[in-house]
Amino acid sequence: MQIKKIAVLQGDYIGPEIMNSGLEVLEAVSQETNFEYQIHKYPFGGEAIDCCGEPLPQSTIEGCKKSDAVLLSAIGGPKWDKAKIRPEAGLLAIRNELGLFANIRPTKVNPILARKSPVKPEVIQDTDFVIVRELTSGIYFGTPRKQEKYEAIDTSRYTVEEIERIMHIGFEMSMHRKKHVTIVDKANVLATSKLWRKVAQKMNNDYPEVVVDYCYVDAAAMKIITQPSFFDVVITANLFGDILSDEASVLTGSLGTIPSMSTGVTGPSLYEPIHGSAPDIAGRGIADPISMIQSIEMMLRESFGEYELADRITNAVEQAITKGIVTPDLGGTATTKEVTTQIIENLRG
Amino acid sequence: MQIKKIAVLQGDYIGPEIMNSGLEVLEAVSQETNFEYQIHKYPFGGEAIDCCGEPLPQSTIEGCKKSDAVLLSAIGGPKWDKAKIRPEAGLLAIRNELGLFANIRPTKVNPILARKSPVKPEVIQDTDFVIVRELTSGIYFGTPRKQEKYEAIDTSRYTVEEIERIMHIGFEMSMHRKKHVTIVDKANVLATSKLWRKVAQKMNNDYPEVVVDYCYVDAAAMKIITQPSFFDVVITANLFGDILSDEASVLTGSLGTIPSMSTGVTGPSLYEPIHGSAPDIAGRGIADPISMIQSIEMMLRESFGEYELADRITNAVEQAITKGIVTPDLGGTATTKEVTTQIIENLRG
Ligand SMILES: CC(C)[C@H](C(=O)O)[C@@H](O)C(=O)O
Ligand SMILES: CC(C)[C@H](C(=O)O)[C@@H](O)C(=O)O
């Protein structure tokens, strides 16, 4: 078997702390298996601004392109708030450079962690959906975009091809799930949304078993809270996906555990926690490593087809949660290190 | 005192049912007072499509412009789903025609109704904020907007003047509240949002007592659920306001009770419930009239300065809720008629 190349972007503040945990778990789970890999670290975000004057140096782009998967932790923070180019600009750029047009965000409620959710248990039970967010087009990238003295303009532009490829990913995903796709748009106002609906209706012909419904983004923002178990696969545009996937994440009560995947047609996919770099707790050894560990789990599953290793991680993480060996964000008192050690022990046990 | 002219757009499905309730309450509360008014009904939405071939006939525009305030219930529904111009197009048009650039949406949690909220009581207690949404610009109205065979385009455009006038309304409002303004934007991506921030920073100089903070829309979508008591006055662009105000409304557990106001600099303001025309329960006599009654309360307060009458309505509604004389959406068994009668009795009592 070929040795997998994994690009590691360890990021800022709690970034390196949780990345280390994740890599320890990866090492432990793959010992004495056929899965072989190499880690290559590249600067990205704030770290890259400090060392190289820009959040996404050319060498990092090239390193990522040569790899089989990219692991990212979290970037940005107050240190670079006044930087000419902010670390987050690197995020938009890397998506573009690697053609990562689809962002996949699972929202699944773990019954134990659900206690920490702001939403009532009877509302969130059975919640298990995925948001498929278009990531490299729409109002994030459309031109003209300009800020002048007296006015500013942003442009949202979608081509049929861009819509088709993201729909394709969502419809395919639904075939392995409950075969239920919800297109979230604002087709009562936006021209781009009308085109999304048209493409979805056509794609439904290719997936006759899939039940498709259409939901305006304002109604979806309500339904995610009132009836989250309604959803299976949500497909939506860049900006709507940004808002709704963050909204959805709080349902779980466990932001610190949620991974995400960004993917394209060719080239490596990128895996990262959905939370930020948490400057307030950086260096205190209490950052929750589970989101990073789950990002690695997702990588093993989706990029490398290592289902058995992925399942072992899932089980080890669930055991740690069941035992209550978790960090303060999940109501526990364990440190990052203790959680990591516990998960590695569970892997071995 | 001058006789006030009130334009009434009774709308579709449950629209006329709840409008009738509202007008009965208005009649009852203003009896034997100095407040005199005339009602003028105009077709709007689906009703107007049926009678006049368009959702916002010229005569309705003219009637509204001549009035001192506009009451709207709710429009649209399956009957017109295939109409060439949908009823909702009338909504966008009337906002534009009447220059209603600011939409004001209170989110206040009534402790009794809070039981119906999907969010936990300890999270929503003390929630009392207002979303000030820009309503006649941004991506809703910007050009070019076009849907072609292979691509579609929407444009978001804001001028400094448009941003200033909505900010002004929000900052003024905060002066009568907790003097806390949150600007919600996506300034890490959008040029228009960067301009919003610049204008807000400048306006803060004119309101030095007001504490201003800035929140990205994705973070705001989380915070509305996790920490709603953080907010006092939220000022935001058209599309963000659409999404966030609907999201916020479900916190209360009582969609059927929430009014809203749309206003400009000159001309009449428009008052309406935030919910839709509820085709599923139309004609069954069980629609919740409280949102329409509260819309009238808001009109008395904001357009006519009739604070005493408004307070009397507020109290009468609260008594009905406390007694549990409410419609099924609020967990009761009362009909629209019974709730209305109860509220009128409370007014008199
Ligand atoms: C940092 C920002 C540009 C980014 C986005 O809006 O895409 C973030 O919110 C995300 O969702 O990854
Ligand atoms: C019907 C639609 C065009 C409208 C909007 O998006 O403004 C509605 O959602 C609202 O908020 O009043």
Do residues A339 and A125 lie in contact, with contact meaning Cβ atoms separated by under 8 Å? no
Considering only alpha carbons, which residue of chain B is nearest residue A216? B243
pLDDT at residue B81 tops 90 = no
Its pTM stands at 0.97
Q: Does B249 touch chain A (CB under 8 A)?
A: yes
Q: Do B151 and A195 touch (CB under 8 A)?
A: yes
Q: What's the average model confidence in pLDDT over B157-174?
A: 98
Give the pLDDT band of residue B235 (cuts 50, 70, 90).
very high
Comma-separated ranges of CATH 3.40.718.10 domains in chain B: 1-98+277-349, 104-267
Strands of chain B, DSSP E? 4-9, 37-41, 69-72, 102-108, 128-134, 146-147, 151-159, 180-185, 211-216, 233-236, 259-263, 269-273
Query: What is the least distance, in Å, from the CA of B349 to any CA of chain A?
Result: 37
What 3-state DSSP class applies to B290? helix
**Residue owning the nearest CA to atom 11 of ligand 1:** A242
Comma-separated ranges of CATH 3.40.718.10 domains in chain A: 1-98+267-349, 104-264
Q: Please name which of B6, B51, B21 lies closest in space to residue B273, comparing C-alpha atoms.
A: B21
Over residues B34-74, the pLDDT tens digits come to 999 999 999 999 999 999 999 999 999 999 999 999 999 99
- In DSSP notation, B18-38 reads HHHHHHHHHHHHHTTSS--EE
Q: Which residues of B are annotated as a binding site for substrate?
A: 95, 105, 133, 218
**Residue owning the nearest CA to atom 11 of ligand 2:** B242
Considering only alpha carbons, which residue of chain B is nearest residue A223? B247
Whole-angstrom Cα Rg for chain A: 20
**Residue owning the nearest CA to atom 6 of ligand 2:** B242
Q: Do A218 and B246 touch (CB under 8 A)?
A: yes
| Cα–Cα distance for residue pair B233/B143, rounded to 1 Å | 30
Q: Is A50 in the pocket of ligand 1 (CB under 6 A)?
A: no
Where helices occur in A46-128 by DSSP H, the ranges are: 46-52, 58-65, 87-97, 121-124
Q: Residue A154: its chain B contacts at CB < 8 A? A: 139, 155-157, 190-192
Q: What's residue B4's pLDDT?
A: 98
Compute the residue count for chain B. Answer: 349
Does the annotation place A95 within a ligand binding site? Answer: yes
Q: What's residue B282's pLDDT?
A: 97
Q: What's residue A170's pLDDT?
A: 98
Question: Which CATH class name applies to A1-98+267-349?
Answer: alpha beta
B304's tokens: 């006519």
Q: Which of these is catalytic: B68, B185, B232, B242?
A: B242
Query: What is the least distance, in Å, from the CA of A161 to any CA of chain B?
Result: 8
Q: Do A152 and B195 touch (CB under 8 A)?
A: yes
pLDDT at residue B241 tops 90 = yes
Q: Does A139 touch chain B (CB under 8 A)?
A: yes
Please name the member of B155, B158, B226 whose beta carbon is closest to the beta carbon of A155: B155
Over residues B282-307, the pLDDT tens digits come to 999 999 999 999 999 999 999 999 99
Closest-lying ligand 1 atom to the alpha carbon of residue B189? 3
Range B1-98+277-349 has CATH code 3.30.300.130: no
Please name the member of B118, B149, B242 whose beta carbon is closest to the beta carbon of A225: B118
Sorted by sequence, the CB contacts under 8 Å of residue B342 that are 6+ apart come out as: B320, B323, B325, B334
Q: What's residue A349's pLDDT?
A: 82
CATH fit for domain B104-267, picks 3.30.1390.20, 2.30.40.10, 3.40.50.620, 3.40.718.10:
3.40.718.10
Please name the member of A118, A153, A190 whose beta carbon is closest to the beta carbon of B123: A118
Do residues B47 and B10 lie in contact, with contact meaning Cβ atoms separated by under 8 Å? yes
For the question of residue B66 being annotated catalytic, the response is no
pLDDT at residue B1 tops 80 = no
Q: Residue B244: its chain A contacts at CB < 8 A? A: 221
Helices and strands in chain B: count of H runs, count of E runs: 12, 12
Q: Do A190 and B88 touch (CB under 8 A)?
A: no
Q: Residue B159: its chain A contacts at CB < 8 A? A: 150-151
Q: Do A153 and B194 touch (CB under 8 A)?
A: no
- Residues 286-315 (B) with a CB less than 8 A from some CB of A: none
Q: Which residues of B are annotated as a binding site for Mg(2+)?
A: 218, 242, 246
Q: Mean pLDDT by 10-residue block, N- to C-terminus, for chain A (349 residues)?
A: 94 98 98 97 97 97 98 96 92 97 96 94 96 98 97 98 98 98 97 98 97 98 98 98 98 95 96 97 98 98 98 98 97 98 95
Q: Please name which of B27, B191, B29, B169 lies closest in space to residue A152, comparing C-alpha atoms.
A: B191
For the question of residue B246 being annotated catalytic, the response is yes
Range A104-264 has CATH code 1.10.357.10: no
